[in-house]
Structure 1
Amino acid sequence: MITVEITRDSVQRIVQFQVKGHSGSAPRGKDIICAGVSALTQSALLGLSQYLNRTIRWQAADGLLSMELCNLPDDQTSAVLETMLLGLKEIVKLEPDYVRIVEYRR
């Protein structure tokens, strides 16, 4: 199962996310659930760092992607991260046995 952990600040803006695991819904390279989650989360990371030029800390390994904003979130970073979360929630609606989202507050 893929677990997406979302961390929000005191005013409910996303400041960090971590994605762990594999869905196991299909063989490696053919798993569209993993591909969808990866596309959404990696696009958010790239949008923040390369398009918005925000400073972030991130880590990627097999079955892991984590990202943390180094500065306070703003409207643009929130738009990117909330859009990512909307997409992830749609995947959960379609495939709840393979992906779960947990939200935390700092």
Structure 2
Amino acid sequence: MITVALARNNNKAITGFSISGHAQTAPHGQDIVCAGVSALVQSAIMGIERHLGRDINLAQDNQGLTMSLIGQPDSLTGAILETMLLGLTEIAKLYPKSVHITEHRR
């Protein structure tokens, strides 16, 4: 199962997330659920870094990937991260045994 953990601040803005696990709906490299999640997450990261020019903390290892904003979220980072969440939520609805999303406040 892919686990998505979102962090929100007191204003309910997403400040970061972590992703771990594997959907296991197909062999590694052929799993459309993993590919969809990866595409959404990577697009959000590139949008924040390359398009908006915002600084982030990014860590990736065998367990998964963690991203957190450096500085306060704004409406532009919020638009990217909330759009990522919309896509992830739709995948989780289609594949509830493969994707689980949680949110917590920092």
TM above 0.5, yes or no, is yes
Structure 2 equivalent of residue 67 of structure 1:
67
Structure 2 equivalent of residue 19 of structure 1:
19
Deviations 1:45-103 (A, max 9, x none): 11001110000000123451110000100000000000000000000010000000000
Query: Is the alpha carbon distance of 1:34 and 1:61 closer, same or farther for their aligned partners in structure 2, counting shifts above 3 Å?
Result: same
Q: What is the rounded CA distance, in whole Å, between the counterparts of 1:29 and 1:41 in structure 2?
A: 17
5+ residue gaps, structure 2, are none
Provide the identity percentage: 50
TM-score normalised by length of structure 1: 0.97
Aligned residues: 106
5+ residue gaps, structure 1, are none
Q: What is the rounded CA distance, in whole Å, between the counterparts of 1:99 and 1:10 in structure 2?
A: 26
TM-score normalised by length of structure 2: 0.97
What SS does structure 1 have at the residue aligned with 2:78? helix
Alignment of 1:5 onto 2:2: no
Q: What is the rounded CA distance, in whole Å, between the counterparts of 2:39 and 2:60 in structure 1?
A: 13
4+ residue segments displaced more than 4 Å: none
Alignment of 1:56 onto 2:56: yes
Alignment of 1:92 onto 2:80: no
Pairwise CA RMSD of aligned residues? 0.8
